[in-house]
């Protein structure tokens, strides 16, 4: 009987335009791995390796790309305690105020920041 049911046309989603056409999948994977591994020197070298226009595209990718959970690369670096990468991403212009799907900014995901906040709270709550 299913073949007798009318077919409801599904709306086609407009194909998303790739904002970073010069970055192939391998380069994107390399960037992700360098961030996760706290490899700031290689990341900076890869960014510099691109021409001026492509370098801007790489920086835009680093600051604008969203992972599946809505996090940015800054969130990823903070979550994995990648201090050098966090510093580098902030230096190239990544916005620390962007929130992920859990409504968290990057610094709130850092275990080190959490420990500092807990220590600070304990130190001043004993007065």
pLDDT of 119 > 50? The answer is: no
**65 assigned to some structural domain:** yes
Average pLDDT over residues 65-76: 94
Highest mean pLDDT among 1-15, 30-44, 96-110, 112-126: 30-44
**5 assigned to some structural domain:** no
Provide the residue count of the chain. Answer: 127
Question: Cβ-count burial of 74 within 10 angstroms (0-12 exposed, 13-18 middle, 19+ buried)?
Answer: buried
d(CA 26, CA 60): 17
Beta carbons of 83 and 71 less than 8 angstroms apart: no
**108 assigned to some structural domain:** yes
CATH of the domain at 55: 1.25.40.20
d(CA 38, CA 65): 18
pLDDT of amino acid 77: 92
Phi first, then psi: give them for residue 111, nearest 5 degrees.
Answer: -60, -35
**14 assigned to some structural domain:** no
* Number of structural domains in the chain: 1
Confidence of residue 19 (pLDDT cuts 50, 70, 90): confident
**115 assigned to some structural domain:** yes
Question: Domain containing 47: what range?
Answer: 22-125
Helix (H) / strand (E) element for 92: namely none
Average pLDDT over residues 67-95: 91
**12 assigned to some structural domain:** no
**91 assigned to some structural domain:** yes
pLDDT digits (tens, 9 = 90+) for 25-62: 999 999 999 999 999 999 999 998 876 776 789 999 99
Average pLDDT over residues 73-81: 92
34 or 10: which carries more pLDDT confidence?
Answer: 34
pLDDT of 118 > 60? The answer is: no
**17 assigned to some structural domain:** no
pLDDT of amino acid 5: 65
The closest of 56, 96, 52, 92 to 72, measured between CA atoms, is 96
């Amino acid at each position: 009987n299913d073949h007798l049911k009318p077919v409801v046309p599904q709306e086609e989603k407009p194909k998303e335009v790739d904002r970073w056409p010069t970055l192939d999948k391998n380069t994107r994977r390399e960037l992700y791995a360098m961030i996760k591994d706290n490899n700031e020197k290689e990341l900076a070298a890869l960014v510099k390796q691109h021409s001026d226009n492509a370098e801007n595209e790489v920086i835009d990718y680093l600051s604008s790309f969203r992972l599946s959970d809505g996090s940015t690369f800054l969130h990823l670096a903070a979550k994995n305690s990648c201090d050098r990468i966090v510093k580098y991403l902030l230096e190239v212009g990544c916005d620390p105020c962007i929130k992920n799907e859990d409504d968290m900014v990057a610094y709130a995901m850092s275990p080190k920041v959490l420990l500092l906040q807990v220590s600070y709270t304990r130190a001043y709550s004993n007065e």
